[in-house]
Structure 1
């Protein structure tokens, strides 16, 4: 019996919407030109349905025009420091405080500038803006005379190039850093205008402290009815299920936990229908597992020395019930170097590198919600148990019947191994 044409078309439409939604979650800013052009076309074709879904379930607005599609995401947890902006090169070094300040100053200068700008001219404007008395009082000063300051500005420009805010016309950043030349860029004003993802304009915010201002920028409208309060809870929980590697129950307020207990099936089903993520519900929390394993910016396990060290430290932490001090982790890395150093890079085997190896491993584990930093060190979270190593069992390698194979943990597929993955690389 042939499938009716209407069913085929409905299935294709649903598949296209899923691809478009996943593309937006992975890259909240999609450009009509470049490597994500096909995904942009899908988003534009399904913009109406996607806009309604995200607005209703997450409170994120979707803006689509001929040049770009921008999903204005705000994180479920505003105080999460584990997913910083990163340099758009092989090292992917996280942004420092100075680079964040330079990024804001550069965006402000580009907003006031012309359709084209040279890197040297942008640097001059940044230096002038950095002389603001309030910035000076905060201990911020830039001259860009030093090489390290110019490297920071070059890192900011490369990030803006990756985002599509700038398009290189001539020259390169390395020439500017070395003082041997300059670079010229086109400014994509529509992309620039869509970068800010807040519900309220910064100039309207009266709060003084950083955390208070951040909360005010992203706050919902006055929650003066049960309907609005329930809507806010639904949006907040959906954002966290989409964004967080694991949504732990012990991180929720009483109101959030009560709502999630009642509406868990509804929330997870709606997410699964749109995105293809599969809910894994455990006693400690919920993870939306990605069977395709491509909605993540942090991978584990991962190849290379740092990936191996992270996996070995995850195994070590999983066997502990409480926090492990940083010095103990460094000592463990020294022991692991003696045991596994033949598989590591030469630099990682040098004395004194264990501190950097531990820091990179802990940064990854905390980003994946597998561990948490505490005053006493690093403490494992429940999801880390999947990386614990049990006792070795020697089995007959001969023929097994289906029942034995199903009972053998070594042959049991665990789709949750991808659960501890962030949903989106950019926020």
Structure 2
């Protein structure tokens, strides 16, 4: 919360929290501390006191519905139409930094200042028999990703139903070990990621203490939900898991703080995990919740500008009044009517605020509604105040904010990478973090794997925490869609082409020429495009297919771009077929012959005499 105060120049006060549905500043008092603007900053305003209310019903698990909503005043005297909205100076400064940033810096700045990015992990694990020393295989930590076991599954022509939404799906339980999980989730298939509840190899052992097993599963479900969705409300799309967060908030607060250094604030209406910034070049961007279109620096600037006004706005706010206040407070106001790109940026910003439940009652057709500027929005000020986590008041500029937000002691910094990113390569770490990972090669990943229900994959180049259920990730390489299928096929063939031979000193990266990428992608599109039902727009526009496929591989950490060109990273080899390290059999007289190949007898008489 100290960072939140720095962001808004706020005073620490006990405040009401929201239900994420109809606003609700001051609805009930909790032990959570929220950051609000210092009273001296705002113009003098009349005050409306709500009647005193008792403690929030429902107890630790929040099972009962909140009461007292009918006592909420119909209007907020602090938001009379004659009074201008007062923007928060810290968020206004952040909006200016967004407007001046390039796209990559703007993405990093968003992750550092809001911390609402989800975790990202690989899915299917490698073949266990090849890495288990007990099964005769080599120790995993001594094997390179380039030549180790793979998680390869044939990609061509397979079909897969698209997921309805990225991130954590509804909680699934192991029916044998956990017959009941009081999370409100619907019954489902047994979850593959419930590691402590299911034994490996031999028959599963049903815990004798079923209550302890249920508690462990509930805590893991809640932790995974928060890591996938750092802002969870009691009435939002992940409301099924909110009672679990409330019930285990003390344990979750302690574990997140100890392992990752993330503060967790849980009130009666929402839970907020304050993630730290992942640092520069983390490839985390904000996208439109419906279309998936990436934010531009202008869109980020509009988002920060709207938040600067909403943290102290009235609960009922006319849309036209908000738009006028944003134009007046814009650090770089337009000289004439807004361009179409600016209108699209504004529509994206408001759509994300509605997705976060900061705003409600937006026009159904947002672009047309913005042009009309009619209607009244419902503002949840407490959720608006919960969004910023970065310290813009302490930073000199955008780059300094990104750096400050990622600062942590070596162990915490490495654990954050393990929990948030697909793979942690030692070559990418500073020396102090590399030394910590070397000294805690097994214990560090194991603690997080147990906390989040993941599986550790140790390799010579680094460590990856895997989620076989593909729930704790916002991206899945083996996902649906033309770009995802093309990306998987592309990385498979690139690895086969440039994979280093055993004994070659190449490190974690291997150069991959652009010409090879173009040639391989062209072959893939010709071979699999129409039979696999790929989108015709991609087949007609190979440049767009190349761009989106490489973008997915880049965001998954399998390809990186350096000044010298593109590099294929070692974890990419886990998606390619296992390497054949033996020489290929030939058919000549001096070649090593494959015993399964039968060479026909010569038919020429002269050839027979030579034989």
Tell me if both proteins adopt one fold, taking TM over 0.5 as the criterion: yes
Aligned partner (choices 331, 336, 343) of residue 150 of structure 1:
343
Is the Cα–Cα contact under 8 Å of residues 363 and 369 in structure 2 kept in the other structure?
no
Cα shift at 1:370: 0.9
Partner deviation per Cα, 1:45-79 (whole Å, 9 max, x = no partner): 0000000111111110000101100000014x311
Aligned to 2:552: 364
Aligned to 2:301: 101
Partner deviation per Cα, 1:372-406 (whole Å, 9 max, x = no partner): 112243211001012224589xxxxxxxxxxxxxx
Give the 3 Å change call, closer, same or farther, for CA 184–334 of structure 1 in structure 2: farther
Unaligned runs of 5+ in 1: 221-231, 393-427
Cα shift at 1:171: 5.0
Cα shift at 1:105: 0.8
Give the distance between the partners of 2:229 and 2:403, measured in 1 at CA.
Answer: 24
Aligned partner (choices 126, 136, 141) of residue 326 of structure 2:
126
Query: Does structure 1 residue 194 correspond to structure 2 residue 372?
Result: no
Cα shift at 1:316: 3.0
Structural mapping, 1:214-293, within 5 Å: 214-217=402-405, 219=407, 232-293=409-470
Is the Cα–Cα contact under 8 Å of residues 559 and 568 in structure 2 kept in the other structure?
yes
Give the 3 Å change call, closer, same or farther, for CA 327–93 of structure 1 in structure 2: farther
Aligned to 1:117: 317
Aligned partner (choices 42, 50, 64) of residue 244 of structure 2:
42
Give the distance between the partners of 1:54 and 1:4, measured in 2 at CA.
Answer: 28
TM-score by length of 1: 0.79
Query: Does structure 1 residue 73 correspond to structure 2 residue 275?
Result: yes
Give the distance between the partners of 1:291 and 1:337, measured in 2 at CA.
Answer: 28
Cα shift at 1:159: 0.6
- Which structure ranks higher in relative contact order (CA pairs < 8 Å, sequence separation ≥ 6)? 2
Partner deviation per Cα, 1:126-148 (whole Å, 9 max, x = no partner): 22122x3xxx4xxx747663333
Give the distance between the partners of 1:314 and 1:128, measured in 2 at CA.
Answer: 49
Aligned to 1:303: 480
SS, match of residue 396 in structure 2: coil
Most deviating of 307-316 and 179-188: 179-188
Give the distance between the partners of 2:427 and 2:265, measured in 1 at CA.
Answer: 35
Is the Cα–Cα contact under 8 Å of residues 456 and 465 in structure 2 kept in the other structure?
yes
Give the 3 Å change call, closer, same or farther, for CA 171–311 of structure 1 in structure 2: closer
Aligned to 1:92: 292
Partner deviation per Cα, 1:212-246 (whole Å, 9 max, x = no partner): 233235545xxxxxxxxxxx222111111100100
Query: Does structure 1 residue 320 correspond to structure 2 residue 498?
Result: yes
Tell me the number of residue pairs that the alignment of Structure 1 and Structure 2 aligns.
363
Q: CA RMSD in A?
A: 2.4
Query: Does structure 1 residue 83 correspond to structure 2 residue 284?
Result: yes
Aligned to 1:185: 377
Give the 3 Å change call, closer, same or farther, for CA 171–253 of structure 1 in structure 2: closer
Is the Cα–Cα contact under 8 Å of residues 354 and 362 in structure 2 kept in the other structure?
no
Cα shift at 1:254: 1.8
TM-score by length of 2: 0.56
Give the 3 Å change call, closer, same or farther, for CA 6–310 of structure 1 in structure 2: closer
Cα shift at 1:299: 0.9
Give the distance between the partners of 1:288 and 1:208, measured in 2 at CA.
Answer: 35
Query: Does structure 1 residue 160 correspond to structure 2 residue 353?
Result: yes
SS, match of residue 127 in structure 1: helix
Give the distance between the partners of 1:332 and 1:144, measured in 2 at CA.
Answer: 46
Give the distance between the partners of 2:219 and 2:256, measured in 1 at CA.
Answer: 12
Give the 3 Å change call, closer, same or farther, for CA 307–217 of structure 1 in structure 2: closer
Is the Cα–Cα contact under 8 Å of residues 454 and 466 in structure 2 kept in the other structure?
yes
Most deviating of 80-89 and 119-128: 119-128
Is the Cα–Cα contact under 8 Å of residues 315 and 387 in structure 1 kept in the other structure?
yes
Cα shift at 1:181: 5.6
SS, match of residue 293 in structure 2: coil
Partner deviation per Cα, 1:142-174 (whole Å, 9 max, x = no partner): 766333321211111111111111122665413
Aligned to 2:68: none
Give the distance between the partners of 1:88 and 1:171, measured in 2 at CA.
Answer: 14
Is the Cα–Cα contact under 8 Å of residues 316 and 378 in structure 2 kept in the other structure?
yes
SS, match of residue 202 in structure 1: coil
Give the distance between the partners of 1:164 and 1:14, measured in 2 at CA.
Answer: 30
Cα shift at 1:320: 2.0
